[in-house]
Amino acid sequence: MAAPKGRDDDVRLMAALVTFGVTSMILMAVMLLAPVVKVGPSEGELAPDFSAQAYSGGEWEDFRLSDLFNKSWAPGGDGDWIVVQYIDTDCPYCWSEGEMMSQLHSQWNQEVTFVTVVVELGIQGHDSSREEVEAFRDKTPYDGCITNSNCADRPGNPHSWIYIDDLNTRTSGDWELPGTPFAALLQPDGIVAWNPQQSGNHPEGEEMEGALQRLVGGT
C-alpha cells in the first residue's frame, strides 16, 4: 500500500496566518487588561526602574528607585519630586557640579528627593570604588577622586542624600546616559518631567534649577 500523500496545497501559509491571528488576539486582550506603559528617560515616559546598593552615610543597603514613586500622585497633589543625577567620581564636571547640587539640595530638599547614581565610565584613569563613592559623597579624605585628587576637596558641602553604586553601569543603557554629569527631574509618580537632552521642550537655556522653579515651585 502506498504511503499517504500530503495535500496538494501548501498549508503553511494558512498556519502562519492562523498563528498570527491567535497571537494578535492574545496581545489585544493583554492591551485591554493592562495597557503598555512606555518606559524610558524621555519626558512623559516612566523612568526606568533599577535596584542596586545604596549608601546614605551608614551601611550599603538595598535600594529600588520605584519605591520612591507615589503612583496615586496627581498634578498639584502632595508627593516628593525626584532628581536622578548620574555622575562618575573621576569626571571633573561632576566634581564641579558637587557645589551646585549642594545648593539645590539645601533649597529644595523639602519637596524633592535627590538620588545620585555613580557610574564608572570606560575612560582611561576612571577607576572608582565604593570607598571613593563614600568619600566623594561625604567629602572625606581619599585620594582618587577626579583620578588623583583628594575627595575631601570636592566643591560644595558633604551630600546628605542617597548615592547608588552602579559602577558596572548596568542602568546606563536604560537611561540612555549621554555622559556625566546628567540629571533628570521626575514627577512624584515616576514620570520623567524634565530631561536636559530635550531642551527644545524647555524655556531657552533652562538648567535644573530653572526646571525645579518652573515645575516644582513653592520654594
How many whole angstroms separate alpha carbon 60 and alpha carbon 11? Answer: 60
Site string for another protein, 23-62 (x = CB under 8 A): x--xx-xx--xxxxx-x------x-xxxx----------x
Q: Is 14 in the site for another protein (CB under 8 A)?
A: yes
How many whole angstroms separate alpha carbon 88 and alpha carbon 71? Answer: 30
> In b/e form, how buried is each residue of 83-95, taking b as 16+ CB within 10 angstroms?
bbbbbbbbbeebb
How many whole angstroms separate alpha carbon 154 and alpha carbon 216? Answer: 28
| Residue (14 or 215) nearer to another protein, CB | 14
Least distance (Å) between residue 68 CB and another protein: 11
Site for another protein in 133-172 (CB under 8 A): 170
Give start and end residues of each alpha helix (H) in the chain.
12-33, 92-108, 130-138, 208-211
Residues near another protein (CB under 8 A) are 3-7, 10-12, 14-16, 18-20, 22-23, 26-27, 29-30, 33-37, 39, 46, 48-51, 62, 64-66, 69, 71, 170, 173-174
